[in-house]
Homo-oligomer: A and B are copies of this chain.
Amino acid sequence: MTYKLYYWDGIPGRGEFVRLALEEAGAPYVEVARRPGGTAEMLKLMSDTGAGTIPFAPPFLIDGDLTIPHVANILFYLGPKLGLVPEDEGTRHVANGLQLTITDFVTEIHDTHHPVGVSLYYEEQKQEALKRSADFLAERLPKFLGYFERVLNQNPTGRGHVVGKALSYVDLSLFHIVEGLRYAFPNAMRAIEGSVPNLLALHDLVAARPRIRNYLLSERRLAFNASDIFRHYPELDRQD
């Protein structure tokens, strides 16, 4: 069964967290919106007035009859099928809790450049973005990264992984968080990375996985850019 992943074309975006899981598992999937006419097909599904389940926004996954929206929900669903989460129910909820903290982190990262309106351009909210980014770098970035560093440190079953004793989809998502933050806030990351050695080790471990390495070199991996969640505006980064 080939999974159908629906996400905006042209950016890694939130779809990337799902892609990394599918790629690591070597699972068959298609990126519908990257095919000719695919974006129209995606929008049609979202506005279907006859459908029983309608996603609010991409990404969503279609697996047979089932339409599953939201990154954490997709990964909760795929985790056991892809062998990327421990199988017992309790640990799956622990993993989902971690993934939902990543979801919140991603929202806050996005809002550094879009603090007052999704429908406004960055240039229309640049002053507010400067204020929000300063607060983000001073308060939130150390809090979130420090949290995941602690979780890695305190994992009772597997040093080096965030949950359980083997690679999970949460590990893969944390890899992308580090990648994205290094792109968006290189100065701030240089200043903080010394305090999160376990997180960096996890990043490197994921980057060295053969399928992930292969994916990162492929055309399926899109580059970060100024339409994405992670954006590099030098004025929003730490000023050294």
Contact = CB atoms under 8 A, between A and B. Distances in A.
A121 to B, nearest CB: 12
A78 B82 CA distance: 25
A94 to B, nearest CB: 5
Copies in the complex: 2
B156 A135 contact: no
Contacts of A69: 97, 100-101
Given A116-B128, A128-B115, A128-B128, A50 B154 contact: yes
Interface string A126-143: 001001100100011000
Contact of A100 (B66, B70, B125): B70
A120 B135 contact: yes
Contact of A73 (B100, B116, B147, B150): B100
Nearest to A119: B139
